[in-house]
Amino acid sequence: MTQHSRLHGLTPADTANILVEALPYVKGFAGKTIVVKLGGNAIDAEVDKALAQDVLLLRQVGVRCIVVHGGGPQIDETLQAFNIERKFVDGLRVTDADTLQAVRMTLVGKVNRDLVAKFNVEAADNPVAVGVSGEDGGLLVARQVKSELGFVGEVEQVRASVLTRLLDEGLVPVVSTVGADRSGQPYNINADAAACAIAAAVGAEKIVYLTAAPGLLEDPSDPDSLIPRLLASEAEDMIASGKIGDGMIPKLTACISAVLEGVPRAHILDGRIAHSLLIEMLTDEGIGTMIVKGGSHADAG
Amino acid sequence: MTQHSRLHGLTPADTANILVEALPYVKGFAGKTIVVKLGGNAIDAEVDKALAQDVLLLRQVGVRCIVVHGGGPQIDETLQAFNIERKFVDGLRVTDADTLQAVRMTLVGKVNRDLVAKFNVEAADNPVAVGVSGEDGGLLVARQVKSELGFVGEVEQVRASVLTRLLDEGLVPVVSTVGADRSGQPYNINADAAACAIAAAVGAEKIVYLTAAPGLLEDPSDPDSLIPRLLASEAEDMIASGKIGDGMIPKLTACISAVLEGVPRAHILDGRIAHSLLIEMLTDEGIGTMIVKGGSHADAG
Amino acid sequence: MTQHSRLHGLTPADTANILVEALPYVKGFAGKTIVVKLGGNAIDAEVDKALAQDVLLLRQVGVRCIVVHGGGPQIDETLQAFNIERKFVDGLRVTDADTLQAVRMTLVGKVNRDLVAKFNVEAADNPVAVGVSGEDGGLLVARQVKSELGFVGEVEQVRASVLTRLLDEGLVPVVSTVGADRSGQPYNINADAAACAIAAAVGAEKIVYLTAAPGLLEDPSDPDSLIPRLLASEAEDMIASGKIGDGMIPKLTACISAVLEGVPRAHILDGRIAHSLLIEMLTDEGIGTMIVKGGSHADAG
Amino acid sequence: MTQHSRLHGLTPADTANILVEALPYVKGFAGKTIVVKLGGNAIDAEVDKALAQDVLLLRQVGVRCIVVHGGGPQIDETLQAFNIERKFVDGLRVTDADTLQAVRMTLVGKVNRDLVAKFNVEAADNPVAVGVSGEDGGLLVARQVKSELGFVGEVEQVRASVLTRLLDEGLVPVVSTVGADRSGQPYNINADAAACAIAAAVGAEKIVYLTAAPGLLEDPSDPDSLIPRLLASEAEDMIASGKIGDGMIPKLTACISAVLEGVPRAHILDGRIAHSLLIEMLTDEGIGTMIVKGGSHADAG
Amino acid sequence: MTQHSRLHGLTPADTANILVEALPYVKGFAGKTIVVKLGGNAIDAEVDKALAQDVLLLRQVGVRCIVVHGGGPQIDETLQAFNIERKFVDGLRVTDADTLQAVRMTLVGKVNRDLVAKFNVEAADNPVAVGVSGEDGGLLVARQVKSELGFVGEVEQVRASVLTRLLDEGLVPVVSTVGADRSGQPYNINADAAACAIAAAVGAEKIVYLTAAPGLLEDPSDPDSLIPRLLASEAEDMIASGKIGDGMIPKLTACISAVLEGVPRAHILDGRIAHSLLIEMLTDEGIGTMIVKGGSHADAG
Amino acid sequence: MTQHSRLHGLTPADTANILVEALPYVKGFAGKTIVVKLGGNAIDAEVDKALAQDVLLLRQVGVRCIVVHGGGPQIDETLQAFNIERKFVDGLRVTDADTLQAVRMTLVGKVNRDLVAKFNVEAADNPVAVGVSGEDGGLLVARQVKSELGFVGEVEQVRASVLTRLLDEGLVPVVSTVGADRSGQPYNINADAAACAIAAAVGAEKIVYLTAAPGLLEDPSDPDSLIPRLLASEAEDMIASGKIGDGMIPKLTACISAVLEGVPRAHILDGRIAHSLLIEMLTDEGIGTMIVKGGSHADAG
């Protein structure tokens, strides 16, 4: 039948199968919240645009999306421009007052801004992205990790209502992970960990880490060795076994924390594939690696 | 990438394209009403099951679906079983009191029941299909068409609230087109015309006639000559030209009436293709023939 | 005083007494639900009209009325017309597939329709009666009573929301007691028993069985031996004593079940007296026989 | 049938007729407001009790009742006790400061109190009567009628919300007709006129004047010459004709004003017949005299 | 700075300090209820006007104010005017039927009326004061204190909803403390005690007794010996010690009862200082004497 | 009376006068919106703390406050640190891409952050300040002023809902005036003008410009020549006369625009006086200069 050849070269049956599969997910996620963590560095303009589309499409069908971003490379650029020297204590980077200032200006005043702009351009007449810093409305209450490291903080409390209020209004919060302690002192907080704390606090259905890898690989050198599904306890064992590459450890650790704190599913997805978020959410198979609760050592505690 | 081979043999890009295309339709139809007219005769169990699935999936994502059914073949069976003779006046079938009784028993007590059962079995723990006769709550107020034809009626008024109340509750009304006049006398009403009146009265976004043909063909003998889109005025011209097959005329006429009475789109779809309803609703191209308002002679009046 | 002679030949004091007595009942029943069970056979047109009036008047002052009907005589007519032979196993009638089809067509497509029409004609511009089959929205989930009897079912579950939704909208559901099991197979269910299950499920204040007798008689041959009030346990004893006529046993049994399942009052009323429903509801004395909870053997269990 | 002999000696048909007649009125008056004006002097304890019952029964079925009272005889008693001399100007009684004080103490502190007590005793555990003076919440804004008469006022404005708020809460306001001008100076206002102004301001459906007469009589000496229904213009003509007894003129005048200001029906009822209010409200015939709009001279203006 | 000299001769800093101090109190009392008890005798017109202003200003910013009044001097005047002799039993005044009638006429028909007028004149176009007697809506259910004293009652039950409904509507109830028992017999109730019972029943935040003294004095002869704050137990000790003047004992006793029954704060304020209520409510220091819960003997019980 | 000496050395009458004056303003501003424009440079810590207190106190009593900030001095610091050269065209500063980046980082990532922190520290356990950039949710849609000046924008549209949503939630938006055009290109917008556009768009009751001057002076060299009140037309005349100092012109111009666009009152206040905002809002006299609509030349147009 000629007229169907226009359907992306797919048969009606192919198309129907995908739709029949997707609609129950659409229904199931309606009204649910997801947290999507992005790195600071754009991969390429096309993929970024696809991600913005995915978030906006999910929002249209009722999914409440929170975007959390990092910004390592951009911070480095700013420090260089300001001629701020990097200091180290026992091999760990120290965040002094000047560095903190530069970090905050970069994350809140640049990376966050660029993301908000990208989403809002995509959203056209209904700009729904809103930048939020962890300091706004006391969203992220921070405490110092270790005095030698200066203004490096960890999350002490999340005031989830700051975000849920925006979600209730149909907006998409884009969060920079600078927090403040109760005296108003700001701290830089690791974005992977902050995303996890936020997901737990808002009762998210899912947290998704977008990375520059296909997911967690059994053998980091073999891209075909992807592990599609992992219990939290198995993930802990893999970290203990030393087989995980350094870059993946904070993501996997945050995934484990998220599921232990009650987020049903945590995902590490390949951010380089356009629309990977949508495919993961709305098809039976999913892509990348999913971590779910089960048999965790911490669990047993 | 191996893991994607599981996606119905489609690439992630294919899947993503369909989803990206479908979600705005999902959003757009949410809260809107559609009317689906079926013939009385099942095509095959598989296709019927697919239709029930389509209606239930659309309902899940917020589309308000009304199903209207006919029942010619089943009525003939009942008349035969009751030994009721068919009478004709000037070649038109006469509906006397006994015939009407048999028609009503068949439509309301048999065809409607079987459809409700089919939908509710598919809906499993949440049986949402509810049978409705045009007499219930005064849904279809009828008047006699012509005294020689006996109890053959046409729609004088539609009490849409009977249906909108059910839709508000998330139910799927399945309508038999027996109406009653103000004295309580029942009449048999043509289901194609009744579906059109109902669609106009509830402010439907779409009316869909499922038939045993691919749609309207330029050349009835060439299944590849499908006309995908037609203005109401063009449809009127085609009927006037005598090129349309007899069976298609009442459907096309009802489509023209529907768009003239304010239903934005009327469709003639191939009910023999599984999930044709879903494909029409959620993809860019659609299938079958769509009639929209424009340049109608009646319009000009 | 001349002008009062116009008050139905009653003195103002008579009229006032009835009104003073009735208004607290009107207030007390407002928002409450009652179930009225009718046999399939009309008594006479006048009495039927009076019943329709009673239900509509009660509805006007806020009583939520559900009508449940039987249809024995009409079913017999249909079976005869279809030339369906009656089969028996151990003296009990067997409902095979053809019989069931005929039963369903008759109850849903004929008796129910005729009742709905009668109520809606009486209701004039506000047709509130709506036919409902036990299959609609899964109202009556049935299971087979005994395989030898074929498609004779009993109530496994009542999905009360199908009815309460209609009541919330001010409608009067008229229920045919055909149910379906979870596979969609329909069953014929005894209407007395189904009415009882419905009354319990909707939390009815009262269930009323309209019969062709003045109520329960101490001595069936003496119409003046009416028993106005009976405990459930006394009713059980009377059945056990064998003094109850055959026709009355299923009604009395259903009354006992109803009060044991929490319906405060069950009544057997003389359906041949015009407005017997209204008199029972709104005067101190009531008429017919009332069964209330108390001292039941099952209770003691 | 023996059991029906208990129904006040009436046949079931008699009872049914009254109920069938009353229920539509019950429905029709639900949510509507009526104003009942009483004189200050009780007729007899039985009739008073019946009136309290009527108002409470009507309230139970959703009628919003406002009671307005006078108090001539009681005021005379107080004046005498206080040794306040009556003064006259041109034959009209003058209300000086001392008299006003005595009037207010009597109406608000005695007559109103006694009525509230009577209603609340009848209402038992749900005491719904609440005394209101025209000064409360600025209910009756008064102005002086004529400086020679002292503190005799007429209604300049009614702040209906004072009463509608109480009615919304299911309460029965019992109103003393002492008003105040904008400087806070109290005035005594004629209760018949004040009741009329209140009825118009709250949008009452009916105003009822309870008197010690059967209604308006064609021939005051013949109690059988009751006029059941009168147009406002006919009532004006009767007053002009001089045929109306003095005591009846202010009542009839107030009735005329009420219907001209939009109250659909005004009634003069025999307050000596127990339950006359209920009979008037809930039966077809009514009792006493009803004045309705039509052909008024003022109308024509 | 010239322009500030217009600020009541205060510096901007003075003004700012008072506002900064007052606003949190404004916020804190919003939606809370206070009871203000006045004696029957006006102090002077200026102070009365100031009190009316205070109550209306507090109401404007959301404080729910109930005013309770006494009326000793006015009652004496009425008794004299009526020539009612005072009777005593064992030195206590007896309230016989005539006396009660006079008390009720005076409190409800005169004192209450005058207060309502005073408040409503101050409130100008939005007259919010509404007179309430303890008999209205069964507000104060009374029982006899002692048969020898006649119709002297004490509070058995408070139907708080009568007042809370008025408060919900933004009105200011002005309460006369005449109650009734369940048979409708009225009783005169001590206003200090009734105010306390009302405060406890409505969950008041504060009860304020306005008196003609600066508060509770350590040494009644030394106006500078004011006790600003007192625990309930300390107040009990002071009464036991006999150091409290007679007039102050019922007030102090009522204050103790109020805090023991859950009213957080009870105050005895100098009603002769204009705006003493406002100053007490909205500044840090307060004026007069405050009694709070703590160490009460009754507490320990 | 000793105890009153503790009231800030003021008499009870002084205190009472201020409270009596303030409460109607408190009531009047409840639910109304005000816009407060601050310069970028803090005056001193004490005054800043007082401003934060004022805003939080006003919010507590229901005033909806929007804070808009500038940041000239801080931008200069950043440009210097980044070694970005200042470019000029015809004496006007050019904002190229690098400058814009630095402006945005400074306003959004530094000045806004510091203000939010200051407010939230003051707000303690209820941190209500939320930073907002004009890009968030498309708040400020910008267009280029003049291509030679680069990325200097003016307000084309305000999406007020971004702010009103936050206000509805009881939050205090702190706004940086960076906007974006529909392609997502950011622009730097003058904060005085942006504050004016925002005030008009949200329907503000008042806009307040806090400056380092006592208000508008008749003679800039004489601080006692303050003009307390000015019509918009008089303000236009003063600008035309050349008597206004350069720094004051943009503020005065923005005030004129604000009142012409419907903001009832615009104020220029001395930000150096602690609590000047509170004094202006809640006392009769106000401080600084108020501009109101009237006789404007533009008006006449």
Give the span between the Cα atoms of F100 and F151, in whole angstroms.
7
F137-192, pLDDT tens digit by residue? Answer: 999 999 999 898 999 999 999 999 999 999 998 999 999 999 999 888 999 999 99
Task: Report the C-alpha gap between E103 and E93 in whole angstroms.
Answer: 13
The DSSP code sequence of E121-159 is: HHHTTS--EEEEETTGGG-EEEEES-GGGBSEEEEEEE-
What is the distance between the alpha carbons of residues E229 and E286, in angstroms, rounded to a whole number? 10
Which residue shows structure tokens 């008429």?
C287
- The pLDDT value given to residue D286: 62
Ranking A76-90, D33-47, D191-205, F49-63 by mean pLDDT, the lowest is D33-47
φ, ψ for residue E46, nearest 5 deg? -60, -45
Q: Say if residues F57 and F25 touch (Cβ distance below 8 Å).
A: no
Quick check: do B and A touch, 3+ CB pairs under 8 A?
Answer: yes
What is the arithmetic mean of pLDDT over B14-18?
A: 85
Q: Residue C116 is nearest to which of B112, B118, B135, comparing CB atoms?
A: B135
pLDDT at D272 exceeding the cut of 80: yes
Q: Taking CB atoms and an 8 Å limit, are C135 and B113 in contact across chains?
A: yes
Tokens read off for F277: 């905002």
Average pLDDT over residues F104-113: 94
Res F299 pLDDT > 70:
no
pLDDT beneath 70: ranges in chain E: 1-9, 40-44, 91, 285-286, 295-301
pLDDT of res. F3: 38
The closest of E25, E50, E33, E62 to E281, measured between CA atoms, is E25
Q: CA B8, B12, B16: angle at the middle one, nearest 5? A: 100
Cα(A192)–Cα(A190) distance, integer angstroms: 6
pLDDT tens figures, B190-204? 999 999 999 999 999
- State the amino acid at position E118 in one-letter form: K
C208-301 and C31-204 share a CATH fold: yes
- CB-based burial label for A44 (10 Å; 0-12, 13-18, 19+): exposed
Cα–Cα distance measured from residue F205 to residue F263, given in angstroms and rounded to the nearest whole number: 6
Mean pLDDT to the nearest integer, C89-103:
85
Specify the pTM. Answer: 0.81
- 């053997």: which residue's tokens? C297
* F260-295 pLDDT tens trace: 999 999 999 988 888 889 999 998 766 899 999 876
- How far, in Å, are C20, D164, D276 from residue D31 at the CA level? 19, 12, 21
Handedness of CA E96, E101, E105, E108 (dihedral sign): positive
How many Cα atoms occupy the beta-carbon half-sphere of F56 within 13 Å?
23
What number of other Cβ atoms are within 10 A of residue A42's Cβ? Answer: 16
State whether residue E220 sits within 8 Å of chain D by CB.
no
Task: Pinpoint the alpha helices (H) of A175-301.
Answer: 191-202, 232-241, 248-260, 276-282, 297-300
D147 burial via Cβ count (<10 Å: 0-12, 13-18, 19+): exposed
> How far is residue C299's CA from residue E153's CA, in Å, rounded to a whole number?
50
Contact status of F276 with chain A (Cβ, < 8 Å): no
- C-alpha span between F178 and F110 (Å, rounded): 13
Determine whether domain B33-204 maps to CATH 3.40.1160.10: yes
Residue E49: other Cβ atoms inside 10 A: 14
Strand-pairing partners, residue D35, are D66, D207
pLDDT at F301: 35
**Does F188 show up as a binding residue in the annotation?**
yes
Q: Indicate the pLDDT class of residue C200, thresholds 50, 70 and 90.
A: very high
ipTM of the complex: 0.87
Task: Supply D102's token pair.
Answer: 């005595």
**Residue A42 reports pLDDT greater than 60:** no
Give residue D250's pLDDT band: very low, low, confident or very high (50, 70, 90). confident
* Mean pLDDT to the nearest integer, F64-69: 96
Q: What is the pLDDT of residue D191?
A: 92
Touch between chain C and chain B: 3 or more Cβ pairs under 8 Å: yes
Mutate to test the interface with C, among D23, D122, D229, D285 (most CBs of C within 10 A): D23
**What residue ranges do the domains of chain E occupy?**
29-204, 211-263+271-301
Query: Which numeric CATH code is attached to E29-204?
Result: 3.40.1160.10
Sorting pLDDT into bands at 50, 70 and 90, what band is A261? very high
Average confidence (pLDDT) over F106-120: 93
D110, D182, D183 ranked by CB distance to E109: nearest: D110
Cα C15 off chain centre by? 30
Among partner residues D7, D26, D279, which is closest to C26 by beta-carbon distance?
D26
Tokens read off for B174: 């399945």
Q: Considering chain F, what is the average pLDDT of its residues?
A: 87
pLDDT at B168 over 60: yes
Backbone angles phi, psi at E114, to 5 degrees: -65, -40
For domain D12-300, which architecture applies?
3-Layer(aba) Sandwich (3.40)
* H-type alpha helices, E214-260: 232-241, 248-260
Nearest to F117 among A81, A116, A180 (CB): A180
**pLDDT band at residue D207 using 50, 70 and 90 as cut-offs:** very high
> What is the structure's pLDDT at B44?
64
Q: Which residue of C has its CA nearest to D58?
A: C23
Does pLDDT of D10 surpass 90? Answer: no
Q: What is the CATH number of domain C31-204?
A: 3.40.1160.10
Which pLDDT score, from 0 to 100, does residue D2 have?
35
d(CA F132, CA B137): 54
The reply to whether residue B137 touches residue C171, judged by beta carbons under 8 angstroms, is yes
Q: Does F143 touch chain A (CB under 8 A)?
A: no
By CA distance, what is D22's nearest residue in C? C19
Q: What does the block give as tokens for E288? A: 């007069």
Q: Give E141's strand partners.
A: E157, E180
Q: How many CB atoms lie within 10 A of CB D218?
A: 11
Task: Tell if the CB–CB gap between E275 and F27 is shorter than 8 Å.
Answer: no
Q: Torsions phi, psi of E144, nearest 5?
A: -65, 140
Q: Does C197 have pLDDT greater than 70?
A: yes
Mean pLDDT confidence for D270-275: 87
CATH label, A29-300, candidates 3.30.450.40, 3.40.1160.10, 3.40.50.970, 3.40.50.620: 3.40.1160.10
pLDDT digits (tens, 9 = 90+) for F203-237: 999 999 998 888 898 887 887 889 999 999 999 99
- 3-class SS shares of chain B: helix, strand, coil, % to 5: 45, 25, 30
Contact C208, C54 (CB under 8 A): no
Contact E19 F16 (CB under 8 A): no
User: Is residue F227 within 8 angstroms of chain E, CB to CB?
Assistant: no
- Residue F131: is its pLDDT beyond 60? yes
CA distances (Å), A241 to each of A8, A237, A299, in order? 45, 6, 19
Name the pLDDT band for A4 (thresholds 50, 70, 90): very low
Identity of residue C232: A
Average pLDDT over residues F40-47: 66
What's the token pair of residue C57?
């008047």
Q: Which residues of B touch C180 (CB under 8 A)?
A: 117, 120
- A120: pLDDT confidence band, cut at 50, 70 and 90? very high
Lowest mean pLDDT among A7-21, D22-36, E109-123: A7-21
The domain made up of F19-300 has a fold known as Carbamate kinase (3.40.1160)
CB proximity list for C37: less than 8 A, separation 6 or greater: C68, C69, C70, C191, C192, C195, C207, C208, C209, C210, C254
